Every structure is written in C-alpha cells, then in structure tokens.
Structure 1
C-alpha cells in the first residue's frame, strides 16, 4: 500500500497519476478547478494535469505518481485571453490539434473557467479511442454541472455510436454523429466545446476535419500548434470563411505511447461495464433488428440456394441471407483453401458477398439504439442465433423496451472487457 506523504507547495506543478491528492491547508487549482482545504482529486494512471498553488499550501499525496515543480505555468497567456473572450458570449468552439497537443486539457480548462463566469457549458467529445465523455466507440455529449479535473468526471447526457476506437474507415458516422450532438448541445449550453481526435495528416484526416467543421459550422475554430503543423488545415478553413484562432500548444503535455493509450481504453471499457454492472439481455431480432451492416438487411436464403452453395464449395453453410445487392454467408468452419472463397462468390456474381465464420460475433461491441437511431447504450454480443433470430447482449441497460436496433461495431472485447481485435469496416 502506498504511503501518504505531505508536500508543502507553492507555484506551479505538473501532477502525474496514479495519484490521490487531498488539500490539507490553503487552496490550489487543478486544470482550472479550485480546490480548498479538505477537497480531494484523483489523477488516474497515464494522465497528468497542471496544479497551481494559491500562495502557500499543503497537500497530502498518495500513490505512485509524481509532483514536478515548474518555474512557470503550462497555460499560455493566449489561452487566458481566449477564455476571457468567449466567457461573454454564446458560441460553439471547434478544437483542432495533433496528437498530444493538449486539446482535452484546453477544453477542460476553458470549460472550468467559463463555468466559473456563469456560462452553461457542454462538451462534445469526438475522440472515440480515448473517450472521456461516454464509453469508447462513441462520440459523447456532456453537460458540466460543476468544475472538473478531467472530462471523464462528466456524465454523458447523449452519445452517438460509431462502433470503433479509431476514426479511420468511419469518417461518415464521425461527421454525422458530431453534427447531431453539436445540434443537441446548442440546446443545452450557451458555450459548446468540441474536442476532436488528433487525426490531422493525410487525405482521410483532411476530409474528416474539414467536412466536420462545415457540418457543425462553429463560431470559432481553435488550432493548437507548436509550429505550423496545422497550416494545411487552417489555410483552407480561413479560405472558407471560418474564424480561426491559432493558439500555442501547452509547453508541457503528457506524451502517451501506444501502450498508455491501450491501457486507458481498457480502463474506460472496464469502468463502463464492470463498475456499472451488466446484465444479459435477450433480444428478438424480429423486433430489434441488426443494422449498420450487410447482415440484417436481407432475407434468409431458400434451402435450394444453401444446397447449391454447399454442392459447389463442399462447405457447410450455417446461414445465408440475401438482399438486392448482397449475400451474407455464415460458414460452419473456416475454409482451408482460398479457392473456396472464389467459388462462393461465383454463386452470387451480381452481389457483394460477405463471408463470416461460426462464432464471429463473440465479444463484438454493439450499439443499442432507439427510435430514429437515438443512442440508448452499448453492449457486448455474447450469443447470436440467426436461424432463431435471437441475440444475447451483455449491457448495463436494464430496460430494453425502447431498443429498436442493434448496431454492429468493429471492436472485439474479451471476458475482462479488454480490446483484443479491431475489425475492418464493413466486415459483415
């Protein structure tokens, strides 16, 4: 067990987790949130923030993290001026920046200061891989009730299921989901802050950022950069007539490697499922249809079609579904030779053919959607019987009467809710 230690503090510190901080004398600010004697804050593993002591203060610290003394604040003066400028008006702010440029810290700091100044503040968290508001695989909308040290303390009031922990290959749902949630956020808060993924280089990244800005039509685009690494985007946004505010990235940002990011995702999944508690819900797929895939869009093939495919391929077909433009086949076993796939496709020359194998569904994250695609929750698919039109989903959702559809995701979790596979978009 970590021993609690007492630290006399004054000035600025970078606080790295895992750490529990209790203020025993005086007051401090963490990410712009004021804490005074008796208040506590938890800094999770692989996360860090800025602490500023208001004069002389004393804190009690427990955990394996650290306090690192700085000679100056990590918050640029330009940030403070920006917060002052937005605290007096209703607006939507789109935050743009490369990986580890401090976007989430900036959004949290701005939200806390604006809340202090009396604004209603909502946050749209578009970072589906490093989600703070809502579970991974979703874009989350949160309404701040009080200042927070980290956005993960904000409860999601709405969300949009994308179904992956990476935007790559999912740009259309990313743009649609962000636009829908920003529209909803504008009805909730006078200041809407949009936190985006650090995907800024390459054709898909350019398309995602530029089309998302067009779709949400923000009042301001904040570009956080150390040099001119976002110039290829800001130049086009300015040409389109958007007001772009270029601010320096924080001089100190916690750099996360691939392992850190994976651990944060695993912690987020675990917290969402294991800590909230789950139940196994049984869905009748005639009433709650599968969406978001070729599977579920057609009708079961006739016995004659199944027999014809099996005769050509010498493979046992568990299930086959045909629509106007596709054929989805569930095979009992994985064929050992590639020629089998070509033979199956030759049976459906005018259609897109999707082949999956028995058990393909195990551990897939699914979105549970209501009327008109309204997000209700996420779950983990544990059983799928396509002949009986029955699915068993492990989910925190207790009441499933409003569920109209199960949207297939591209992430597979194990029994401990750890991500073990990310499937290609359109795999089924």
Structure 2
C-alpha cells in the first residue's frame, strides 16, 4: 500500500499546485489595470478567504502602493504582517469575535473609498465564516448558531450560503452597497460549478435566492425550530432591497482546473463527482473499486456533505475515507487498493488534517488499536480512528482552496 499511497498523494499535490492563487491573479491583473484610479484616487485591495495572502502577494507586485486589508483563517496567518498590509484572522467554520472584527474592518475600509478610488477584491473560499456583519437584530451568537445548524444538517454549500446571505450586510453583493468606488473582484472558486454567487457567499456578486427560499430551506432540513428567534423573524420578513453598483467579477481558478492537472499527471477522471452525502457516496466508490482493473487510477473533484449525529472529531473528507474503507470491507473487495480524499486548503473540518488515505488494512489497524470504525462513524469521530491506522492526510495549510479532490487506485 505504501507505493499506492505515495502515488495518490503525488496526484493530490499536483491538483493543489494547479490551484495556485498567485498564478491566477497575475494572469488577470493586466485587464484590471486598464481602469486606474481617477484624479486624487488610489488603489485599495481587500482580500478575503483561505487564499487571501497568496492572492495579495501577487497583486502587490503590480500595485506596490495600494492600501491592503487581508482577512484569512488562523492557519494561514503570517508570523508577522508584511509591511503595509493589515491582516486579520477570522474564524472558521463557525464565526466568532475574529470574524466580527473582520467584518467591521471591511465595512470601514469600503465606506472610506470615493468614486475616484478603485477597489480590487480578492475572494476565495472560506470567506462566509471568516468575516461577518449581521443584519440589524441578529447577533454574532445568532450567526454562530445558524452556522452550526447548517453544518450539521447535510445542506450543501449553495444551500448554506443562500441562508447566510439574508442574514448579512456583506454577503450577496453587500460589498458593493458599502462603497462608492468601482469594484473589480478576482475570484478563486471552491464550489462545484463555480457559481460566483456562492463563493464566500458572493460579496461582490448577488444573492443566490429569495428570503422565502432561505426560510423554506431551513424547514426542509428540519432546523427552523433550532434557529434563534431573531433569525426566524428576519427570514420571515419582506425581501430586503439592496441597491448596489455593478462589479466586474472575474473567475481565476477552480476545482475543474485541479482535476485537469491530476489527469495530466496520468490519472483518469472518475465517472461521477464528489457530491451529496458521504454515507451515500461511499458505497458508490466501493462498487466502482470492485470493477476497476489492476493499475487503474481514477480522480474526482467536488464537495460532499455530512449529517452530524455525534459529537466526535473529523471532517467530510475523513468521514468519506473511513466510509469507503467500511464499504469495501462489506463488499468483500480483495487485493491492494488505496482511496484518498482531501481538502485542497489542507484543513478538513475543525481538524489539522486535510483528509484521509485508506486501504485494505486500515480497518484492521483501527481495531487492533481498540477502536471500532462503526462506532467512530456513529459519532462522526473519524479523526482518531484514522489516526490510529496512520491514515490521516496531513499537508498543513496550502494557501489555496478549491474544494476537495479524491484519488482511487486499484493495485
């Protein structure tokens, strides 16, 4: 399995490398620079997301005099902020005080700009939680409660961000409502399909759907009664009209480009995407494994969801890997194989692992360590189970984020 695992990790790294945010920013900047600030104006860069620092460094090469505000996750924070750059650590996946401070800083920065200034927004995944500015009547604690309910409901990222947008002054085009300056956004996609309204909840784009659709979604996932009263009131009210100036939004990278890089590295594309709940997807992957020829290598991209029932530690990629190992055992699949599933940002859920890498001996190792894979899944506790089997994918923060990648190899 060691040889197969090395191959899988090499392919995963090739996918992550293809999502280099700096490369995408450099390619897009020449067009941005054709509209310079007016008389007395200046460039303002505001970068939000897990790839914010890498995107900012590339933009600063072309705009060395720009004022810069960066909001990113704690794992990507530099030891000290580069000269001339203000860096704020938000909170992820549940917003907290850091996220609230980041939201305030963004609004203050945007509102200080004039029509002569130019705003370059650098947007990447994770921004929905990293910076928050609740609408009137909704508190930070309310926002955190909504985030926890959505994360545990099985809702996908489109559905979660639809709800978030109606509770925020910044999301769903909110940045444009807070500034008089023309806005250009360079956007690194972490969502399947690359819908710009979904990435970081579309701060320079617009809303995914109506307030009524957001409320109906909460009822569908049976979380309506768990929502704070202020949130229920907001989602039961009239549609809030938000006049915004149009922004120029430019997609500079996404999950499909990373999958393409893995294909160039010698793999074949899997017949379906990483999508839906992991407990439904894992048996499909195991069934595919049973049909694969020796030496066949398949890669996948996308993003799954997990329904939280327990209070364990893990993430969607770790749980998918553990469920695939269990499904392969249940199907009686013999021979050597490996399955890797990882987040391109290097962090899967609230853990320090990017995901999991499992093979035919992974479950045996867990059981020899006194852990039950089945009990771990019942408690959403995949991290310690995978750790016991030396099956965690550890990469550290990658500085990018284009959703998830997976590799399936038949020995």
What TM-score does the superposition give when structure 1 sets the normalisation length?
Answer: 0.28
The structure carrying a bigger helix percent of its residues is 2
**Which one scores higher on RCO, CA 8 angstroms, separation ≥ 6?**
2
The structure carrying a bigger strand percent of its residues is 1
